[in-house]
Amino acid sequence: MGTHLPSTEFDGTAVDDQREADAEAVMGEPPAQMVQLLGPDGKLGFDPVFTGYAEKVTPEVLRGLYADMAAIRRFDVEATALQRQGQLALWVPLTGQEAAQIGSGRASRPQDYIFPTYREHGVAYTRNVDLAELLRQFRGVSNGGWNPKDTNFHLYTLVLAAQTLHAVGYAMGIQRDQKLAAAQGSGDEAAVIAYFGDGASSEGDVHESMVFASSYNAPVVFFCQNNHWAISVPTNVQTRVPLSNRAKGYGFPGIRVDGNDVIAVHAVTEWALEHARQGKGPVLIEAFTYRVGAHTTADDPTKYRHSAEEDAWRAKDPLARVEKYLRAEGLADDAFFAKVKADGDELAAYVRRTTHDLETPDIRSAFANTYAEAHPLVAEELAWFEEYTAGFEGGDLPAEPSGQPAAKAGH
């Protein structure tokens, strides 16, 4: 008997959300409509609500969005190569999700605060986070890598969905600060974006954060990147209806958008952030996209999904559709695309060079940073460590061929 691989809710359907629409019909509700402005064929459509926002995406802005997506894809390829070559302990690819991240990130304002998971490299790029610094955590030489206060882009959260609670708490703080600022006649309105995936949507933290956000009308946008696979679990196991519909139960708007359409994502996110900043409360955005590669470099997606499914989604590539549109409308030529490629290669070279130059911090700093004040147990462990390392020539841990300290079993 052959192995049966689980499929996404689209498998064998002509319309992407047909199975979910059928489920909603059984419950007597109309199917959720997906906002799409730029289709896979590279043709621009119309939406009665969001076309007005899309018109703000001028040809210059659209070229910039394409360049951003191309740059972050090139970065993703380089980071994957660095992990395969032993320069990173792990990498979390984003290929396929560029439009969801670049479109939403570019729709935010500097005063907005972003709470990512661990795959939002594209959003980090839009917030001017140094991508080489971003790799410090994946190399294992830092618990973070950048200062969130510099960019209003929080450190990556590896615990699924924990950042949604943090985001709502932060948004409630912003809400109170803005009331005070309004009373004083000063201050720019701000909102918060909390990113999470379809797998994390099953975590209780997401439910609790949405309850609090709705109860207190917090200025937060929940941005779910539905990439169809929570590692090896397909979306149809996570939910029987569109994830965007969950917002109804909390009493705020939910929007499903084509996550591979950067124009639509930008428009929907801009609308949602305006809604939040104006004191109208939270919004849930479900960006309907696909993780083309592995969940992480430790994952093998061939074990749980069919290559035909991946091929079908590659035909919806977010970069390809923008290129088709730019070329068809005469908004970009070969010289533009050649420059984008060259810029991407330059970024990759910078990241590779900087990653190789990253130095491993002294492990003693871990003891110093465990507590704000001296702690007797930590002091005892540090004394043991000093005694242990004194047993080696030079008074330090021996190094493996890679130049990293050798791990000792049992310690």
Instruction: Tell me the C-alpha distance between 314 and 116, whole Å.
Output: 25
Axis crossing angle, helix 204-215 with helix 162-184, rounded to the nearest 10 = 20
Q: Name the residue type at position 310.
A: E
> What does the angle CA 355 – CA 356 – CA 359 come to, to the nearest 5 degrees?
85
Considering 106, 119, 228, 295, which one is annotated as catalytic? Answer: 295
Axis crossing angle, helix 334-357 with helix 59-84, rounded to the nearest 10 = 40
Instruction: Tell me the C-alpha distance between 203 and 268, whole Å.
Output: 25
Question: Rounded to whole angstroms, what are the CA distances from 167 to 157, 212, 254, 282?
Answer: 11, 11, 18, 11
Question: Rounded to whole angstroms, what are the CA distances from 236 to 7, 10, 220, 233, 241?
Answer: 8, 9, 26, 8, 8
Considering 63, 139, 216, 304, which one is annotated as catalytic? Answer: 304
> What does the angle CA 111 – CA 113 – CA 114 come to, to the nearest 5 degrees?
140
Instruction: Tell me the C-alpha distance between 213 and 217, whole Å.
Output: 6
Question: Rounded to whole angstroms, what are the CA distances from 22 to 25, 168, 228?
Answer: 5, 33, 18
Element housing 115 (H / E): strand 113-115
Is residue 304 among the annotated active site residues?
Answer: yes
Considering 291, 305, 321, 352, which one is annotated as catalytic? Answer: 291
Whether the Cβ atoms of residue 284 and residue 210 lie closer than 8 Å to each other: yes
> What does the angle CA 166 – CA 167 – CA 170 come to, to the nearest 5 degrees?
85
> Which residues are identified as catalytic?
291, 295, 304
